[in-house]
Amino acid sequence: MIRLIGYFFGIGTVLFLVVAAGVAWYIGDVSKDLPDYEVLNSYEPPVTTRMHAASGELMAEYARERRLFLPIQAIPDRVKAAFLSAEDKNFYSHPGVDPVGLARAVVVNIQNLGSGRRPVGASTITQQVAKNFLLSSDQTIDRKVKEAILSFRIEQAYSKDRILELYLNEIFFGQNAYGIAGAALTYFNKSVNELTIAETAYLAALPKAPSNYHPFRHPERAIERRNWVIDRMVENGYVRTADGADAKALPLGVTPRKTGSYLFASEYFAEEVRRELIDRYGDDALYEGGLSVRTTLDPKLQAIARKALQKGLISYDERRGFRGPVTRIDVSADWGAPLSEVESLRDVPEWQLAVVLAASSDGVDVGLQPDREVSGAVAGERRTGTILPEDMKWAFRLDIAGDKRRNVKSAAEVLNPGDVVYVETIEKEGVKHLRLRQPPKVQGALVAMDPHTGRVLAMVGGFSFAQSEFNRATQAMRQPGSAFKPFVYAAALDNGYTPASVVLDAPIEIVSGGEIWKPKNYGGGSAGPSTLRLGIERSRNLMTVRLARDMGMNLVAEYAERFGLYDDMLPVLAMSLGSGETTVMRMASAYSVLANGGKQIKPSLIDRIQDRYGKTIFKHEERSCDACVATAWLTQEEPEVVDTREQVLDPMTAYQITSMMEGVVTRGTAASKVNLDRPTAGKTGTTNEEKDAWFMGYTADLVAGVFIGFDNPTPMGRGSTGGALAAPVFNEFMLGALEGTRPADFRVPQGMKLIAINRQTGMQAFEGEGGVIMEAFKPGTGPSDVYSVIGLEEFATGDAITTISPQANQAVNNGVGGLY
């Protein structure tokens, strides 16, 4: 018996050694190509880039995987407890693989043989880290062995907290949410420290199979799994029994966070910043780099700008008449469902879609589109209302096609049952009404900028980003028309001319290359000899052409490029009238130079960019202040901010042109259109056939530019000038933007002289003389002692290139009178 026992023992020992050798060989073979677990030291997961307004409000997020990395110290104990209870309750005691859990899984899987149930896993959190970071998800024995080996090694190399940190920031929760911070925002729009027991338990239930526990497709399963996690938390002593019972009685309470833009009216601004980030750093940095971007956007000014531009576009559009419904649907049965499927302008929340149910001379009965944000709204009670005739009076003028219009007398001639239209709820005398609306075809842009820093405070690129993502503020190349003239005059004032210099305003014909160009003043006519001030106030084209010709278009082109309006301007006379194409952003930047005293600025939509670690990798502010870092005052000099920006225009010239453009607002083409409680300078601009309407203007500390026109340049109709269309939008914006601020005068450079001159002749005025204005002159200059008219010499020379038409003679005589 003893020999028999010894015999079997020997055989067993040999078999054990053989098996052990085989296992050792297998493990050694598997271990040869194991990935390097030390890469976990440099773990940098794809992280969401977040964009903020200047006020700190979140504007937008960009990510391929919606993740925000949280260090383990920032993760609440309750969150850790939920995941430990759901995934690995022995995490802090096992060496990487849990033998007890593994044995339990083996027993359960044996019991479930033939039941069709999926095998139960026994992966610890460490094993999941090994699989997620270093291995594939293949369901093979080799992968499981590798996973176990790596788990032991990871446990030896890293602390438990570090392993848990990696796990909680890497796991997938569904809805493109990765990591616990991203999941908390995605499902509950909360930070992790705001999560309740029930919410934490639901998130801990998701990693097992996010699609199986979808909060809306499988709510019963989701609640069952959540409650199971709560029970485990109670069982493990993390939550009191009573608190667990209360948590289980709660609904899921999932409130999905919307994606895209989070700040009202910021879509155009955010998209422009997004493009700039891609140009600067590339796609991967934007969608995976976890950048923190602080923009220059002022949310208050942005909302005001949007409202002002939309009001101007709607006003013009409604004067042209009603173009018809958005679409048509069948209202003979249930109209709620088909109406709910019609796409609306999501970024114009003041408007909603409605379907016409009946129309008569007394008004139009409509059914309102169900609110998609309200659960069950589509199947719920139908909301209806009535559009009274006075609230759709503008639509009684029908825009049939092109320039054809037809007037009708009844609402029934405008709309028919089944027509889908936009309506807006307005209040008149305490009673709510529905007003008929239509998205305008005409478009526009508005840019507001701090002239001293170049920070873009507001930017609206069109009526609605949902309607069109094309940004007319930065992408549309348009002719500025007369809004370009201040830079022609600035070049003149910077090169020997004065605001009192006199230029002939009379018809002119210019022959070039066998072709004759006959520029005209808007509205026709001419005023004879006039000062530069009058020329810019009245926006005289003929004067501008003569002035540009007198000093040379090469000089005008140089100044236009210096101001950043064009990169390479063609030096031809037609360009002096703004026939070149530029953008609203460039125009606002150029006007900022006039407003700030001639300093070059770089328009910026971004104040600062930080990487995922908080290191600043870009800032717009380039001025330096070495002494600003002092921690205490030790009788040193006051710190000075060193401004190294280029001086592109004489400060005195900048003040002169500003003073002249104040006259545009008070007496010129923008008179009665711009009425602010402070000094305001500006210039209207209108191109041929009224295809583009502009107003560019500024106060001492704020520049704003407005453009209005069709995307496909089309005549907007007689009278659709910069003064009629764009200036009121500028005024509306500035009234809101400047409300509550103290008026400030334009800064007068030291040494400027103010001299009374005759507005017509430009010569020094006599005491008691009428038509007098105080004009600004640089040191060493002043009004001329001799009456001289630029362009008048053409009568005597008979210039072969430039000739004066016969009609000019009368204008000259009227202007000069008995003085010449």
pLDDT tops 50 at residue 642:
yes
Distances (CA, A) of 471 to 265, 342, 444, 715, 727: 13, 25, 9, 21, 20
Candidate list 87, 199, 276, 775, residue with the active-site label: 87
**Cα–Cα distance, 500 to 765 (Å, whole number):** 12
> What number of residues does the chain have?
820
| pLDDT above 50: residue 809 | no
pLDDT of 395: 95
The alpha-carbon radius of gyration of the chain (Å, integer) is 37
Distance CA 511, CA 493 (A): 28
Q: In percent, how much of the chain has pLDDT > 70?
A: 88
| 510 secondary structure, DSSP code | E
Asked whether the predicted pLDDT for residue 374 surpasses 60, the reply is no
Task: Evaluate if residue 803 carries a pLDDT over 50.
Answer: no
**What are the strands of the beta sheet with 502-505, ordered from one edge?**
528-531, 502-505, 789-790
How large a percentage of the chain has pLDDT more than 90? Answer: 68
Amino acid at 435: R
- Mean pLDDT, range 649-675, rounded to an integer: 96
Other Cβ atoms within 10 Å of 280 Cβ, number: 13
Mean pLDDT taken over the chain: 88
> What is the average pLDDT across 630-657?
87
Question: Is pLDDT of 799 > 60?
Answer: no
Query: How far lies 199's CA from each of 182, 188, 222, in Å?
Result: 14, 8, 11
Phi, psi of 351 (to 5 degrees): -100, 150
Is it the case that residue 36 has pLDDT exceeding 50?
yes
pLDDT recorded at residue 634: 80
Q: Report which of 13, 681, 757, 706 is spatially closest to residue 308, judged by C-alpha positions.
A: 706
> Residues 273, 275, 276, 281: what is their CA dihedral angle, to the nearest 10 degrees?
120
Over 70: is that where the pLDDT of 177 sits? yes
> Does the annotation count 87 as an active-site position?
yes
In angstroms, rounded to a whole number, what is the distance separating the alpha carbons of residues 295 and 60? 11
Least confidently predicted of 33-47, 420-434, 449-463, 483-497:
33-47
pLDDT at 22: 58
**What confidence score (pLDDT) does residue 644 get?**
80
The residue among 693 and 16 whose pLDDT is bigger is 693
Residue 143: the pLDDT is 64
Q: How far apart are the C-alpha atoms of 544 and 95, rounded to whole Å?
A: 85
pLDDT score recorded for residue 817: 33
Look at the alpha carbons of 574, 579, 583, 587 in this order and tell me if their dihedral is positive or negative: positive
Residue 47 backbone phi and psi in degrees, to 5: -125, 145
Asked if residue 747 has pLDDT above 90, the reply is yes
Per-residue pLDDT of 479-519, as tens digits, reads 999 999 999 999 999 999 999 999 999 998 888 777 888 99
> 640 falls in which pLDDT band (50, 70, 90)?
confident
CB atoms < 10 A from the CB of 98, how many? 23
Q: pLDDT class for 403, splitting at 50, 70, 90?
A: low
The reply to whether 165 belongs to the active site is no
Torsion of CA 161, 167, 38, 70, to 10 degrees: -70
Q: pLDDT digits over 697-727, tens only?
A: 999 999 999 999 999 999 999 999 999 999 9
In degrees, to the nearest 5, what angle opens at C-alpha 458 toward C-alphas 481 and 615? 125
- How would residue 108 be classed by pLDDT, with cut points 50, 70 and 90? low
> What per-residue confidence (pLDDT) applies to 127?
85
Q: What is the pLDDT of residues 226-252, one digit of tens each?
A: 999 999 999 999 999 999 999 999 999
Determine the residue type at 360.
S
Q: Model's pTM, two decimal places?
A: 0.87
Q: How confident is the model at residue 112 (pLDDT cuts 50, 70, 90)?
A: low
What integer pLDDT is reported at residue 26 of this predicted model?
53
Residue 2 exposure: Cα atoms within 13 Å on the Cβ side: 0
pLDDT at 150: 81
Among 85, 261, 344, 482, the one annotated catalytic: 482
With a CB cutoff of 8 Å and minimum separation 6, the contacts of 651 are: 597, 598, 749
User: Can you give the pLDDT at residue 767?
Assistant: 80
pLDDT digits (tens, 9 = 90+) for 665-705: 999 999 999 999 999 999 999 999 999 999 999 999 999 99
What is the reported pLDDT for 377? 40
Per-residue pLDDT band at 119 (split at 50, 70, 90): low
Residue type, 311: K
Task: Compute the CA torsion angle 239, 240, 243, 245 (nearest 10 deg).
Answer: 100
Predicted confidence (pLDDT) at residue 542 exceeds the cutoff of 70:
yes
> What's the maximum distance between 2 C-alpha atoms anywhere in the chain?
149
> What local confidence, expressed as pLDDT, does residue 816 receive?
38
Q: Lowest-confidence range among 143-152, 279-288, 522-531, 789-798?
A: 789-798
Higher pLDDT, 125 or 108: 125
Over residues 291-302, the mean pLDDT reads 97
Counting Cβ atoms within 10 Å, is residue 668 exposed (0-12), middle (13-18) or buried (19+)? Answer: buried
Of 44-53, 366-375, 393-402, 421-430, the one with minimum mean pLDDT is 366-375
Distance, CA of 527 to CA of 276 (rounded, Å): 48
The pLDDT value recorded for residue 77 is 94
Tens-digit pLDDT profile for residues 246-267: 999 999 999 887 766 689 999 9
Query: What pLDDT, on a 0 to 100 scale, did the predictor assign at position 402?
Result: 62
d(Cα 344, Cα 575) in Å, to the nearest integer?
42
In this predicted structure, the answer to whether residue 740 has a pLDDT above a threshold of 80 is yes
The better pLDDT of the pair 369, 448 is held by 448
Average pLDDT in the 189-217 region?
93
